[in-house]
């Protein structure tokens, strides 16, 4: 059975190699400073007590006033899982965060997907291009302020 890291314990362990990098934690998740994500992830990959060698997934969520990056990490030798989160782009500003592709190659296509659909730029990504949509597509569809077709329909009585 895969063990899930307690967020608070993971935060304590991160503090040991990267003091001041964690922001908050609860029983399941750990929030880290977005600028130090590279340092934290490198420690989580190499640290003998973590050995998070497989990045299960990276995704982003739009919380209106900020974006949240979610990293699901898996350790094959330890059979453990951990969740790292980072808040960025406060006030819907242009968000640029460090890429984790140099650490885990598996992030390459997923970060391209986040850039395409959520509009977060990744610094240090080898090939940051849109993946699902074409260059020049207006906006980023997974953002909450992107109007879908249904939402863009205006009722007849309001059209006049």
Partner 1 sequence: MTVKTEPISINLGPQHPSTHGVFRFRVTFDGEEIIDVEPIFGYLHRGSEKLAEERTYQQVVTLTDRMDYVSSMLSNQAYMLAVEKLCGIEPSPRGVWLRMIAGELQRIASHLVAVGFLLQDLGSWGTPLTYVMRERESILSMFEMLCGARITNSYLRPGGVFMDAPDEFWPTLHSFLEELPHRIDELENYLTGNEIIFARTKGVAVLPPDVAVNASITGPMLRASGVDWDLRHRDPYDFYDQVEFERPLHTAGDNFARYWVRMEEMRECIKIIRQCAQKIEPGPVRPSHDEVPFLVRPPAGDAYGAIEGSKGELGFYLVSDGGISPYRCHVRAPSLINLTLLREMLIGTLMGDLFVSFGSIDLNMGEVDR
Q: Considering the rule CB under 8 A, would residue 30 count as an interface residue with partner 1? A: no
Q: Which of 8, 17, 38, 56 binds partner 1 (CB under 8 A)?
A: 56
DSSP assignment of 89-123 equals: -GGGPPPEEE--TTT-TTHHHHHHHHHHHH--EEE
x/- letters, 84..123, toward partner 1 (CB under 8 A): --------------------xxxxxxx--x---x------
What is the separation of C-alpha 94 from the centre of its chain, rounded to a whole number of angstroms? 15
Q: CA-to-CA distance for 99 and 83, rounded, in angstroms?
A: 17
Question: What are the φ/ψ torsions at residue 115 (nearest 5 degrees)?
Answer: -60, -45
- Would you give the DSSP letter of residue 132? S
* DSSP-based three-state secondary structure for 86: strand
Q: Which is nearer to partner 1, 34 or 100 (CB)?
A: 100
Q: Which of 48, 136, 148, 158 binds partner 1 (CB under 8 A)?
A: 148
Q: Considering the rule CB under 8 A, would residue 6 count as an interface residue with partner 1? A: no
Q: Interface with partner 1 by CB under 8 A: which residues?
A: 1-2, 53-57, 59, 61-62, 70, 72, 76, 79, 81, 83, 104-110, 113, 117, 130-134, 141-142, 146, 148, 150
């Amino acid at each position: 059975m895969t063990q899930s890291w307690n967020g608070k314990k993971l935060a304590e362990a991160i503090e040991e190699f990267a003091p001041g990098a964690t922001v908050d934690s609860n029983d399941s998740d750990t929030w880290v400073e977005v600028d130090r994500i590279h340092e934290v992830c490198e420690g989580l990959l190499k640290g003998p007590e973590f050995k998070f060698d497989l990045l299960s997934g990276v995704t982003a969520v739009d919380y209106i006033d900020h974006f949240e990056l979610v990293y699901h990490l898996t350790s094959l030798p330890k059979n453990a899982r951990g969740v790292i989160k980072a808040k960025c782009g406060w006030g819907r500003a242009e968000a640029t965060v460090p890429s984790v592709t140099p650490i885990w190659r598996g992030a390459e296509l997923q970060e391209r997907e986040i850039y395409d659909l959520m509009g977060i730029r990744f610094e240090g990504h080898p090939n940051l291009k849109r993946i699902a949509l074409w260059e020049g597509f207006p906006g980023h569809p997974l953002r909450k302020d992107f109007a879908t077709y249904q939402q863009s329909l205006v009722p007849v009585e309001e059209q006049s």
